[in-house]
Amino acid sequence: MTEDQRQVTVNGLTFDVRIGGPERGPWVLLLHGFPVDGSCYDAVLPRLHESGLRTLVLNQRGYSPGARPEAVEDYHLSHLVSDVIAVLDELKVGYAILVGHDWGGIVAWHLAGKYPDRFTGLVVASTGHPSAMRDALAASDQRERSSYILDFVADGAEETLLADDGAKLRAAGVTADELAPLREPGALRAALNWYRANFVGDIKGTMACPPVEIPTTLVWSDADAALGREQAQGSGRYAYSDFRFCELAGVDHWIPQNAPAELASEIALRSTVF
């Protein structure tokens, strides 16, 4: 089984995608978060292929060099969601199992809530349903955990995060290899624009997401400093089909990189539910 790297042009932008696994296997779409591109799933993919699944990894808006518009508003959540559907349409992928981590999880919740006919199951790592996040911000330590967002939307955040050889990002667990693409002109600015476009102004309206009605798994790690238990476990209130909460002990925020076997297992399990 070889991996096929392609470029897909939709919505006036060109996205880098990787396709691998058995040609007749069920599709799995994997969406990355901040600040790492689709390479975060590198250790997950072989396990999915061994399980008979065909994978599609998308480097999303801002992370694909050909899909890096300048304006902050170009990174509004509505565009991020539209990109994914457009790529699936262009590749003639009728439906898939949907996987997302971190920001990719937010996009995945919205995709599952708004396009339930396109996805047979949902597996989100770390990031709870937006309504569960809203609940957690009001009733737990989640607001303190999320305070870093103020730094990300601030003027000059790019320079701050890349200063001293990217010390702040490396301290948060970003590896040297993951840091390298962020040094490309405009790359980190584009990644931070996800925050600036969606966590400023009418955040409640932007993040408003329907409940999901497809089988759903939430994988959360108890050493995640940014995302607490309440927003993860509470997502079950907004998942109206089968919901599974999987807790990983001693794993930090970077589940795809640091617990690839566990994540792959949960995706394979969810792939059996149609």
- What percent of the chain stands above pLDDT 70? 99
Per-residue pLDDT tens for 213-272?
A: 999 999 999 999 999 999 999 999 999 999 999 999 999 999 999 999 999 999 999 998
Mean pLDDT over 163-192 rounds to: 95
How high does pLDDT run on average in the chain? 96
Instruction: Write down the pLDDT at residue 202.
Output: 87
Q: Per-domain residue ranges for the chain?
A: 4-271
Per-residue pLDDT tens for 91-136?
A: 999 999 999 999 999 999 999 999 999 999 999 999 999 999 999 9
Instruction: Write down the pLDDT at residue 1.
Output: 57
Q: How far apart are CA 133 and CA 235, in angstroms?
A: 8
The DSSP code sequence of 130-156 is: HHHHHHHHHHSTHHHHTTHHHHHHSTT
Q: What is the CATH number of domain 4-271?
A: 3.40.50.1820
| pTM for the whole structure | 0.97
Instruction: Write down the pLDDT at residue 274.
Output: 46
Q: In what side-by-side order are the strands of the sheet with 216-221?
A: 4-10, 13-20, 54-58, 27-31, 96-101, 119-125, 216-221, 243-248
Instruction: Write down the pLDDT at residue 158.
Output: 95
Beta bridge partners of 125: 101, 219
Q: How far apart are CA 40 and CA 48, in angstroms?
A: 14
Per-residue pLDDT tens for 16-67?
A: 999 999 999 999 999 999 999 999 999 999 999 999 999 999 999 999 999 9
Q: Are the C-beta atoms of residues 235 and 105 closer than 8 Å to each other?
A: no
Res 172 pLDDT > 60: yes
Res 169 pLDDT > 90: yes
Instruction: Write down the pLDDT at residue 3.
Output: 83
Can you list the positions of beta strands (E) in 11-53?
A: 13-20, 27-31
- Residue 273: pLDDT band by 50, 70, 90 thresholds? low
